[in-house]
Structure 1
């Protein structure tokens, strides 16, 4: 598995990009492409549309590389920018529901892709599918925060920037989301406790008492 860039490497690449290094931007694009693509599918479940939006985002970044403001958290900035571009595209194409960055009614669908699961046991597949069902019963904003925290392993300040809410509301929203998931399981989530992939910490969190 390809090793992720360190925070220092990401920041240096961003500085190089701002200085006009096209290769640095391409490296950032390659490093974040899979995560941003999977993130995009949660809003617009059309792969071609997501790919086009990602291309638009990185093209726009290059065009304004000499005028970019200082970005303290590059991953959070990229997630937020892609989200904004996708919601613009969602409205432009007149999908079934008009959305905005502050609208809590957008759709975030959770599905664990096979390449991330990489599991063989049929009962483990069933458990993850059950977890998907539990997560997709959550309200949209709670579903989004679960995905960002446990699937993308983002910090609370990063999540706050992406969702454009304060840090304390992030804590509150995550607490409600976890409580709802525990309630949905009716106290029988012990059979869900398997350690695999990006779901491990979520399973552990669900195993705690509220």
Structure 2
């Protein structure tokens, strides 16, 4: 969705247009669900959080900022709702994001999903195993970067980190993947990871 259409959709929603509200819901439900599931592996809790989030923004729509990136706004709000729900229900649920050693089995980006689809079953298993070895915060950072296409600054705001810390998380994640993948099996992938690493290293040297 381009910026002008997104702005118009948001303005229609704030004016009380139910169709615009429904469009926002259907467009971003999957994104919010996948992101929420990364934090806590509880499908019903995630769905409840999404419902609560949309009820909240509908009720307060007239008081919301008039010019916001919808996906960024919803992801940030979703994180707040999930952690609020976690605090209410702990210790009855398993919170993946609070345990850096607990792997969450999920693909972390569109690029990686395409790679998995194009490889044979053995390579799929090896690649997914490597991805699962990342810490949850590393996976969260590269998910927001590659899947949701947010900027480092936006990711930092969502994760309540400094921008440089996000660069470090992404760098560590890519470096770990490069080390864990067998170059003889992934000769086409390792150069891609190296290229991404070079880009992140350059950003670390010149960034904030």
Query: Which TM-score bucket, shorter chain as reference?
Result: 0.7 to 0.9
Q: Which residue of 2 aligns with 1:150?
A: 146
How has the CA–CA distance of structure 1 residues 156 and 42 changed in structure 2, closer, same or farther, with 3 Å as cutoff? same
CA distance in 1, matches of 2:101, 2:21: 30
The verdict on how the C-alpha distance between 1:37 and 1:15 changes in structure 2, with shifts beyond 3 A counting, is: same
CA-CA distance at 1:48 after TM superposition? 2.0
Match of 1:16 in 2: 12
Cα distance, 1:174 vs structure 2 = 1.1
Q: Deviations over 1:100-125 (max 9, x none)?
A: x9x78596724139xx669877x534
Aligned to 1:191: 185
1:42 aligned to 2:29? no
TM-score by length of 1: 0.75
Q: Is the 8 A contact 1:10 1:28 kept in 2?
A: no
Moved over 4 A (4+): 96-99, 103-108, 116-121
Say whether the 8 Å CA contact 1:109–1:136 is kept in structure 2.
Answer: yes
**130, 133, 137: which one aligns with 1:134:** 130
- Distance, in Å, in 2 between the alignment partners of 1:177 and 1:125 is 23
Q: How does 1:2-81 map to 2 (within 5 A)?
A: 5-81=1-77
1:108-143: CA deviation from partner (whole Å, max 9, x where unpaired)? 724139xx669877x534323322221221222112
In the alignment, is the contact (CA less than 8 A) between 2:14 and 2:62 conserved in 1? yes
Shift of 1:64: 0.4
Residue in 2 aligned with 1:199? none
Distance 1:91 1:143, change over 3 A: same
Matched pairs, number: 192
Does 1:206 pair with 2:193?
A: yes
CA contact (8 A) 2:103 2:134 kept: no
Higher helix share: 2
1:72 and 1:143, CA in 2 relative to 1: closer, same or farther beyond 3 A? same
* 1:69, distance to aligned residue in structure 2 (A): 2.7
Separation of aligned partners in 1, 2:125 and 2:48: 29
